[in-house]
Amino acid sequence: MPISRRELLKTVGAAGVLGALPGVVRAQKVALEKQSLTIAVGGQSLIYYLPLSVAHLKGYFKDEGLDATIADFAGGSKALQAVVGGSADVVSGAFEHTINLQAKGQFYRCFVLQGQAPMIVLGVSKKTLPDYKTPADLKGKKIGVTAPGSSTNMMASFFLAQHGLKPSDVSYIGVGAGAGAVTALRSGQVDAIANLDPVISTLAKEDAIRIIADTRTLKDARQIFGGNMPSGCLYTSQAFIDANPNTTQALANAIVRADKWIQAVTPDEIAKLVPESYLLGDPELYKLALKGNREALSPDGLVPEDGPQTALNALAEFVPHFDRTKIDISRIWTNQFASKAGQTYPHV
């Protein structure tokens, strides 16, 4: 039976629409084992987690056929607890948590990278420590971190260890990752702070802090950690990956698209996309912070080859009595999904 001209035009039109939505087409080719899932994150408004927000706001998860709910917590350690406890499926968090979990006999794996440097900054209060000279001056002081046990806690402890101080020489106070963190430093609740942008840029603009350690550039991060230090990523249990390989691939596709979009657009475009609350009342400062952190954001979702060992070395310095010989770093990461995502989406 011959097809009518009207039916032909309808068919061609539909094909044209689907062709313009490559994510939709690809999602339809492969059945997802799990369409609805929850991603836990600790401080979503931070630039550290920008690829997650972009993937959500740009509809990249939906393009892959995913119904992704984002559960935001005060810090990365809280997000980790959510996935271990079963209330979340995947974590958007710090790479090194996969190592800490394996040390406890729990096997979790990073499958797509969001950040290739930690982006964490340690600064001392000019109000409560106006005469700060060396890290030794922090002994007995309060350091604000996003949450105890989080990557901000680890970075601060690692820095202090390099200068002869133990974690017990200071008090770590959870202050979150937004306006509350800024208030904690301003009001003198803490004497120093390990946090990320836009929190750090806000405090620096006010001349409220003196920065003493900075990992927002690859050069500085390598100097502090001794190599490439992967940071924000999506990680989940090996059991989840084994049971849901297509869903895992769909998540990686969305994040790699977001990674590439961030590198391709201007800070103005990013500032217009994110919720107003992310800007902490100062859009221009947020855009300046974006420029300062762009290098630290992953361009392709791939974990650098030396990154896992660098993270292991850092964690071994941070965690008391940590036995690095029991860690198989080959089981904490894979580039399989990010590499395939890059082939699927070679351009923005």
| pLDDT digit string, tens, across residues 123-152 | 999 999 999 999 999 999 999 999 998 889
- Report CA-CA distances (Å) from 216 to 86, 148, 288: 32, 21, 13
| pLDDT digit string, tens, across residues 297-337 | 999 999 999 999 999 998 887 787 888 989 999 999 999 99
Give the pairing of strands 67-73 and 36-42. Answer: parallel
Strand partners, 72: 41
Domains annotated on the chain, with CATH: 19-117+229-344 (3.40.190.10), 121-214 (3.40.190.10)
For residues 55-82, give the mean pLDDT.
95
| pLDDT digit string, tens, across residues 277-300 | 999 999 999 999 999 999 999 999
Give the closest residue to 333 by CA, choosing from 236, 254, 249, 259. 236
- Helices (H), ranges, the chain: 5-20, 22-29, 50-57, 60-63, 76-85, 97-103, 151-161, 179-186, 199-205, 218-225, 238-243, 245-264, 267-273, 283-293, 307-318, 336-344
Which percentage of the chain shows pLDDT scores above 70? 92
| pLDDT digit string, tens, across residues 166-212 | 889 999 999 999 899 999 999 999 999 999 999 999 999 999 999 99
- Report CA-CA distances (Å) from 254 to 6, 15, 86, 198, 301: 36, 22, 23, 24, 10
DSSP state for residue 117 in the 8-state scheme:
S
Give the closest residue to 65 by CA, choosing from 36, 101, 103. 36
Give the pLDDT score at 29.
64
Give the pairing of strands 121-125 and 209-214. Answer: antiparallel
Phi/psi at 213 (5° precision)? -155, 135
What is the CB neighbour count within 10 angstroms for residue 3? 9
Give the pLDDT score at 161.
87
Query: What is the rounded distance in angstroms from the CA atom of residue 337 to the CA atom of residue 259?
Result: 14
Find the radius of gyration of the CA atoms of the chain: 21
Give the closest residue to 342 by CA, choosing from 213, 221, 243, 252. 252
Give the pLDDT score at 169.
96
Query: What is the rounded distance in angstroms from the CA atom of residue 269 to the CA atom of residue 267?
Result: 5
321: left (phi > 0), else alpha (psi -120 to 50), else beta? left
Query: What is the rounded distance in angstroms from the CA atom of residue 101 to the CA atom of residue 151?
Result: 14
Residue type present at position 303: V
For residues 105-116, give the mean pLDDT.
97
